[in-house]
Structure 1
């Protein structure tokens, strides 16, 4: 977990990140509709649990903005008599159990269900909704809502307070000015310094009269205990917990993987899932809320020189000290200032660049990104995640429903073969050279015959009457049973036109599977070590036999 001499670097990194985590813990708990101390509890022992089982030395674990919005939506439908804090504990327990079950079943590959465009669309939509949701708090309005339509409808029936708006606007301006400071340390400390200054000004002067404040906090001793055990309540929150677990794992893995690549370290997705599961389970018995990795805190851990996961243990230690020191002053913290820290923090990561790049590179994925964002803003988080997952899978199926097959010819004077549509190449009339550019599986197998026959007709019209079709199989890493049947159908279709099917450069594992059922011999398919050899062979194609070929797995 660590190496000798690294504790000083981890201690410093822990101190720096704790400074950022204090205001974020308070703000994100409030964003989720929970008492501020719940965010502090979620920033203590859950970090230690992740440090014991996770694999990333720089994943800044704790409350995060996107999950806070999801938690708020989930807790908004709690039945009467159930507090938001009780619901948050159940939600954290279920998130931990879902992740633990997924880790046990080795389902860490589920992270791939949400493509990058869908993930970015979701995060940007949540960012805008979080910012919109904090405007009423910042302006002293009673408006509330988890979507733009509901928020606007609520705002139409409520006013705003000039004093609250002044506090909130002042906080936003000061935070924005701090980002222009030449001192990176000042920029990092600015949210905490602002909160401390606001608490002192509110406690010692009448400047905050009439402005909503955090209010008296209960004892900040960690409340150990099991969540409320009611089967109906757990069943009601389970779908939301599954969505929070998926989003928390996907976003955390994206952050930790990007930093692991930058640091030249190896990340273990299964260990990340176990670590997140343990952190959320611990949060559920220590008064916390669901937790995940934060991009801003992770970057800060990396830049502060974190060497091992001990840095998270030190973060928890500094948070514990902060809780002891800030228990009384936090009661005087004006809520508009806390809303200002959320607003500036979340909008700092918003950018339209991702939409422009996705639209320029692949319009379908750009549209998916925009659709997910709009769904978060106008419908619900659950619907947005569903659209993201279904859209990602649908685009994958659409891209792979027809195999990409290119008609190829020889680059003059070489033994290289390239796409006739992109290069000036030579083609021999008697042989149609084709290259299959992907593995053949059930999603694209049905279209193989149609694609090949279309290219054969094109060859016949432009080059001459062929006698055989030679498939370059080098890019094919796998052929499943559906594709094997498709190859048999292709063989029959070509035979009906008087054409012979031949293969070149078949990879060893694929060749082993074909040999295991005697497919080459059964259909009298010629096989060549190189595509150039196959083109030059003419009508005297080599017959495949175990004696003629290399040992299994060598091609």
Structure 2
């Protein structure tokens, strides 16, 4: 226990160093005062530590969510401040996550496929970097899409002093990363901010450069968010998208690290923890929070053992609030923008696009389309496209069930695809393998797929008397799938063929027996496919497979 506390304390100190500049920067990115990022890094961490399940999820403000928050708050009604809107957004996100946890909807993490998630994150990364260019250059241009930035850039100039500050900050941060000293790279953003604040406060070097400005007293503004019904309704669609992205991205990070550490992650607990964190942010002056990949990796590498690490992170953040209240007023905004650009671009890569394109072009196109939508339209539209595209590709892949014709590998009891192996087939029985669960998305294609394989067998091997379906890959049969099986039995009976099943999984068999389906349809059942094939075995004929070496099943 003593070593665990020591490890958690050290990990908390390391991550707090990174979280301080990120909290300030991501609040600014979301169009919020810097102190809001600090508030979001205090009590929300304690709430997750109490209810979450991952000891290494680096909770707090996140760059991708900051972009979505900024877009959500861009059309607030007159008289509503961004801070008030952020509190309502955090409350709605927390409430939606809590409802999902109550209804056990943690499977929502599957709504966004990996290509869609990576496409969104890469697109948001580029857009975040692009949105900081005007700040680095001292330009009045602004916007959350490339067309908006280009349009406003035509009417605004740039400032030499701001450009110099931004360029120097970028150079120092990049240099710290390339020196090969991990500790220096982690400390560099904080050291840069401290140095820039000191230089700006005690020298005239920052004259003419936009600064963060005087902050209010950094005391937690505890209280309920606005209860304006119209405001809640206006932000609800954006809150749903941000909540989905926050949960999916956070769960992906924590699950990946849990597998690496050999730990068990509880999806329902993750939902509860994230819900509590956002609800607490809504009543403590913060902004919506989620798990950060960079901070989570750092927690893992720093040796975090338990969720007490987040408690220590919050304690160090509280100390930072007390120490930084005055100096933050002198922080040049170009320096803060530089820390954002370097932080987000550090995780950007084109490799994922190339890999997805080579492996599955449709998913590669989805990834590119989601990224493009973030850049040209909006983060919300891109996330919606990612969800719809992921579901559409799933339906497209499962719309036609894959049915393989099987033959026996000579001298064995193993049966493989005749198109991939040199196997032997029996004339009087067609051995087939159903490679999908039979559900409403593919049920209509079952009869045609099986009859096509039967005709192929008839032409190449001989006239069969029965069709034996190997059902081992079938994990589920819904009512549509059951109806398709009945239609298949009738279609085969019309051709004088008998339908038989082998190796039906227990849960599937339980459902069939519960309704007496096998008896009612007069369908034989075999424990093994080999047993079913031998039930009417005659002379074996080799298949026409033109592949002698084993391949994929």
Q: Same fold (TM over 0.5)?
A: yes
The 5 Å alignment of 1:434-513 reads 434-513=432-511
Say yes or no: does 1:388 pair with 2:396. Answer: no
Question: Contact 2:426 / 2:537 at 8 angstroms: preserved in 1?
Answer: no
Following TM superposition, by how much is the alpha carbon of 1:484 offset from its aligned partner in structure 2, in angstroms?
1.2
Distance (Å, rounded) in 1 between the aligned partners of 2:171 and 2:418: 60
Unpaired runs of 5+ in structure 2? Answer: 539-553
Map of 2:519 onto structure 1: 521
> What TM-score comes out, normalization by structure 2 length?
0.96
Distance (Å, rounded) in 2 between the aligned partners of 1:362 and 1:454: 26
Report the 3-state secondary structure (helix = DSSP H, G, I; strand = E; otherwise coil) of the residue aligned with 1:502. Answer: strand
Q: Which moved more, 1:397-406 or 1:524-533?
A: 524-533
Q: Which moved more, 1:415-424 or 1:103-112?
A: 103-112
Q: Aligned match of 1:431 in 426, 429, 452? A: 429
Report the 3-state secondary structure (helix = DSSP H, G, I; strand = E; otherwise coil) of the residue aligned with 1:179. Answer: helix
**RMSD between aligned residues:** 1.1
Map of 2:116 onto structure 1: 118
Following TM superposition, by how much is the alpha carbon of 1:430 offset from its aligned partner in structure 2, in angstroms?
1.2
Q: Aligned match of 2:322 in 310, 321, 324? A: 324
Distance (Å, rounded) in 1 between the aligned partners of 2:303 and 2:71: 36
Say yes or no: does 1:315 pair with 2:313. Answer: yes
Following TM superposition, by how much is the alpha carbon of 1:5 offset from its aligned partner in structure 2, in angstroms?
3.5
Count residues with an aligned counterpart: 538
Following TM superposition, by how much is the alpha carbon of 1:513 offset from its aligned partner in structure 2, in angstroms?
2.1
Map of 1:141 onto structure 2: 139
Following TM superposition, by how much is the alpha carbon of 1:507 offset from its aligned partner in structure 2, in angstroms?
2.1
Following TM superposition, by how much is the alpha carbon of 1:389 offset from its aligned partner in structure 2, in angstroms?
0.6
Distance (Å, rounded) in 1 between the aligned partners of 2:299 and 2:215: 30
Map of 2:266 onto structure 1: 268
Report the 3-state secondary structure (helix = DSSP H, G, I; strand = E; otherwise coil) of the residue aligned with 2:475. Answer: coil
Say yes or no: does 1:39 pair with 2:37. Answer: yes
Report the 3-state secondary structure (helix = DSSP H, G, I; strand = E; otherwise coil) of the residue aligned with 1:6. Answer: helix
Q: Which digits, 9 at most, give the CA deviation of each residue in 1:421-465, with x for residues without a partner?
A: 000011111111101112111111111100000001111111111
Distance (Å, rounded) in 2 between the aligned partners of 1:321 and 1:478: 55
Report the 3-state secondary structure (helix = DSSP H, G, I; strand = E; otherwise coil) of the residue aligned with 1:465. Answer: coil
Q: Aligned match of 1:218 in 212, 216, 219? A: 216
Following TM superposition, by how much is the alpha carbon of 1:501 offset from its aligned partner in structure 2, in angstroms?
1.0
The 5 Å alignment of 1:390-409 reads 390-409=388-407
Map of 2:411 onto structure 1: 413
Q: Which digits, 9 at most, give the CA deviation of each residue in 1:322-343, with x for residues without a partner?
A: 1111111111110001000000
Following TM superposition, by how much is the alpha carbon of 1:518 offset from its aligned partner in structure 2, in angstroms?
2.2
Distance (Å, rounded) in 1 between the aligned partners of 2:318 and 2:147: 40
Say yes or no: does 1:151 pair with 2:149. Answer: yes
Distance (Å, rounded) in 2 between the aligned partners of 1:39 and 1:54: 21
Map of 2:550 onto structure 1: none
Distance (Å, rounded) in 1 between the aligned partners of 2:139 and 2:237: 32
Distance (Å, rounded) in 2 between the aligned partners of 1:527 and 1:277: 48
Following TM superposition, by how much is the alpha carbon of 1:539 offset from its aligned partner in structure 2, in angstroms?
7.9
> What TM-score comes out, normalization by structure 1 length?
0.96
Distance (Å, rounded) in 1 between the aligned partners of 2:160 and 2:437: 64
Map of 2:4 onto structure 1: 6
The 5 Å alignment of 1:145-294 reads 145-294=143-292
Distance (Å, rounded) in 2 between the aligned partners of 1:533 and 1:226: 69
